[in-house]
Structure 1
Amino acid sequence: MADDIVTANEMLLDRQIYDRDGVEVGKVDDIEVTIPGDGGTPVLTALLCGPTALGPRLGGRLGMWWTAIGRRLRPNDELYPVRIPAELVTRFDRHEVRLRAPAGELPTERLREWTREHIVRRIPGSH
């Protein structure tokens, strides 16, 4: 069972995620797996994205720092890490993950929009 989870991790981690129109929406930083109560085969339930998913993978001080920045930069009502349900995945391969939803409907866009509005917009010449 643990081997199945390790294999899924190796197959999905760091893959670029694209929406249904081919727009980049993030990278797979971690995965969420549910293990059935009856001890059956683990099931991939979500792709996790963003600094709060990547930080624990990095580990050490860098990982703690990265996670803390992600928490500070997220919108107040945003859960973290960003979770993309597995039902939205249409296919994945060695290089990418494709989704059935447009970028605007995905939770990855909320953090990007918030960062543009509250940080990037204030940088001189960023318009």
Structure 2
Amino acid sequence: MFSGTAILRSSELIIALWQFFDSVEVRATVSEDFVEKVWLNGYLLDREEAKISVFDHGLVCGDGVFETIGVYGGVAFALNKHLERLQRSAAGIGLPSLDLKLISGGAMALLLANRCIDCKLRITVT
């Protein structure tokens, strides 16, 4: 799920978090209590408010791109490099150019809102 200014074709961008527990990744389905907020289509929402349309191109056609980024001490590791790769991947499957400043700002807002110190940040574009 993403911001409407960044993606076309009723596409969406989701940024989600998974917390580290003893250096083992805990998936979102297991760590739902950790995630209070999500960033969806340019908005920071309570997780219960976040909805993806059944007509989302990624769900209908099965295409999309994602990056998973380690967050250590509250800092997203190599965020710009991950976003550049996300941009290349999106272009590679024919998605429109992404607004990387918007995504970066959304990622930072999400980390702050969830008080994430050591976790994983996943950015998904469909």
* TM-score by shorter chain over 0.5: no
Question: Which of the two has higher C-alpha Rg?
Answer: 1
By relative contact order (CA 8 Å, sep 6+), the higher-ranking structure is 2
Structure number with the higher helix fraction is 1
TM-score of the pair, normalised by structure 1: 0.30
